[in-house]
Structure 1
């Protein structure tokens, strides 16, 4: 063998060894869920990848269960009532991350207390043209205008039905329903969703608050909302008695005082009384964004700039409904204190989206541990004791 051939052989061996060592290092740290690995290595790389590609890779990582949680049981103090069952903790993944219901078991494995998928539309649709996702690193925020890109009811139902048949997923599953962009009847679309997914969901969400489907937010108007929810509740009540699935409505943060009063009055009416609210969706208010060029992009803003707005709306809805309607709080939850404030304002549990995108799986364990520590330090024995405890503090923030 010539000197050149020997050198090539040695270089090839070195590449193989180095690659193998790198993969072993990455795999070990993924399995162990090492915070430093995510903070110093994986997430900085992810932020170099185009946002929608990064999102897709994150879903695939969860789908194939590449990520782990802490491996420890959640602190008992985080156990939270949820209708006829209990959540192991009050931290869920919001709709919009796993749109097609591909990654449910992987998200549960990471440590979320409940998983919400969607939005799912009756017919498959591609959503808006790309690019449609924009990362605002300095603001810890995302602008998206996906526009309900969905594989449709049938494909998602088959996937979820297989999951239920396997009986390997024991967690709480929420299914967020949307309408098709060109559908002539929003009511028909949502009723189809109730009939399709009611038998396999732990709760359903009527999403009337995405800013990325023309006319959707108009359904939050008093009369339109009453008509819609009357039909949805009627359809739910016609399901078999053992499938009386709770119905949530997801509302926008960009509401006037009159809007809040109207929505509160509608959701408490007997003929259209729903079981819960999700507060809130993304905002179209980008006044707090530091990158004013990106702020010009159409779409909804999520993340840290939404935190105060969503917490204030939680308090307002809690006050208006006198605490009679359970609330899932979402918008800008990045640490245990953020979660605690939303619960104090009136949320029974909270959801993440943007924080998960920015910091990866370790953020879930971090928030749970911080929340448990706050509860213990302040002398609470459960999350339930905190719900709405200081809602007045957040009414004018």
Structure 2
């Protein structure tokens, strides 16, 4: 029904406007008695064999929602009813910010992809915390951390640490988002020496807490082998808990969309089917070269159960969807979990 009726109607409208309309729709529907039970019965797969224990957390199943969908932690309780094993909120920055000028979200329908240059638009820490206080404990919640666009390079670490400390009581794990192509001056964020400094600063704050939370690093799919070797060294050196591979891509090769259309869209991070192979190759390289020394969450171009199994076979311990959720609908979560069970 989603692909036959809902998606064609949604795709008639501006992607960003329909995103917020969908939020309102799910919120409203979830207030109706029995609707959440219907969602759970339709989409949730409950089976002990799906459980995964990673970095001290027990995931009900290995299928998560990637950051960027629920930036301000507005809908995670309702989204949990669609069968996700975990939901990552954010990217959260210290202060609220409008992000880049609109129009900044574009569908590539023929490619089953999306280009975005949102620019970390979010309402800031305080708003996220207010929403996270409503957590009903239905699902593991991760916090994706970023810096404000106006922050100068010498204060990047301070921004991440501020969000880390404030969100610590409210999320189950953290992700340092250093690979988004849509924020200014992010070159420093890909420098290995700086990453050691950033990770160490967050780990020191973590050690002061009564209960320590896992910290992961989200990397770009565009890294070459030398850069990926540096990531492996970085994980070994800092003992960070894991890696999310991968973020959106700046690569535009092999797209069905015309050069004119791409020029009209302009800059932004590409997600969805076009980056599937690129993301899987990064996962495979990290897993094989490190001899599976650390957990990997695989994300990028998962539009089917087969796509998810491909990521898992490449070395991913968990997977996340976002663009696939928009194109394929909530049944995708159930299909992936069922396929994992069938594979055994």
TM-score, scaled relative to structure 1: 0.80
| Residues 276-306 of structure 1 deviation map (CA, whole Å, 9 limit, x = unaligned) | 1100000000112111233232100000011
| Residues 150-200 of structure 1 deviation map (CA, whole Å, 9 limit, x = unaligned) | 10001111210232xxxx223100010010001121100111111011122
Larger Rg: 1
Q: Give 1:181's aligned residue.
A: 149
Q: Give 1:234's aligned residue.
A: 204
Contact 1:267 1:274 in 2 (8 A): yes
2:227 corresponds, among 251, 254, 259, to 259
Q: Where do residues 268-287 of structure 1 align in structure 2 (5 Å cutoff)?
A: 268-269=236-237, 272-287=238-253
| Residues 204-247 of structure 1 deviation map (CA, whole Å, 9 limit, x = unaligned) | 0000000000122431221111121121211221222x2x0000
Q: Give 1:333's aligned residue.
A: 302
Structure 1 position 60, deviation (Å): 2.6
Residue 261 of structure 2 is aligned to residue 294 of structure 1? yes
Higher mean Cα deviation, 244-253 or 322-331? 322-331
Q: Distance in 2 between matches of 1:221 and 1:320?
A: 20
Contact 2:84 2:139 in 1 (8 A): no
Structure 1 position 321, deviation (Å): 2.8
Q: Distance in 2 between matches of 1:63 and 1:257?
A: 44
1:56 corresponds, among 20, 30, 37, to 20
Contact 2:3 2:327 in 1 (8 A): no
Contact 1:280 1:310 in 2 (8 A): yes
Contact 1:268 1:321 in 2 (8 A): no
Q: Give 2:87's aligned residue.
A: 115
Q: 1:74 to 1:100 in 2, by over 3 A?
A: same
Q: Give 1:21's aligned residue.
A: none
Residue 175 of structure 2 is aligned to residue 205 of structure 1? yes
Q: Distance in 2 between matches of 1:45 and 1:187?
A: 43
Residue 133 of structure 2 is aligned to residue 169 of structure 1? no
TM-score, scaled relative to structure 2: 0.92
Q: Distance in 2 between matches of 1:247 and 1:305?
A: 28
- For the aligned residue pairs, the C-alpha RMSD in angstroms reads 1.6
Q: Give 2:62's aligned residue.
A: 90
Q: Give 2:188's aligned residue.
A: 218
Structure 1 position 71, deviation (Å): 5.5
Q: Where do residues 295-314 of structure 1 align in structure 2 (5 Å cutoff)?
A: 295-296=262-263, 297-314=266-283
| Gapped regions of structure 2 (runs ≥ 5) | none
Higher mean Cα deviation, 213-222 or 150-159? 213-222
Q: Distance in 1 between matches of 2:144 and 2:71?
A: 9
SS in structure 2 at match of 1:228: helix
Return structure 1 stretches of 4+ with deviation > 4 angstroms: none
Q: Give 2:97's aligned residue.
A: 125
SS in structure 1 at match of 2:302: coil
Residue 126 of structure 2 is aligned to residue 154 of structure 1? yes
| Gapped regions of structure 1 (runs ≥ 5) | 1-36, 381-397
Structure 1 position 58, deviation (Å): 2.3
Q: Give 1:395's aligned residue.
A: none
Structure 1 position 83, deviation (Å): 2.9
SS in structure 1 at match of 2:134: helix
Structure 1 position 84, deviation (Å): 2.8
Alignment size in residue pairs: 331
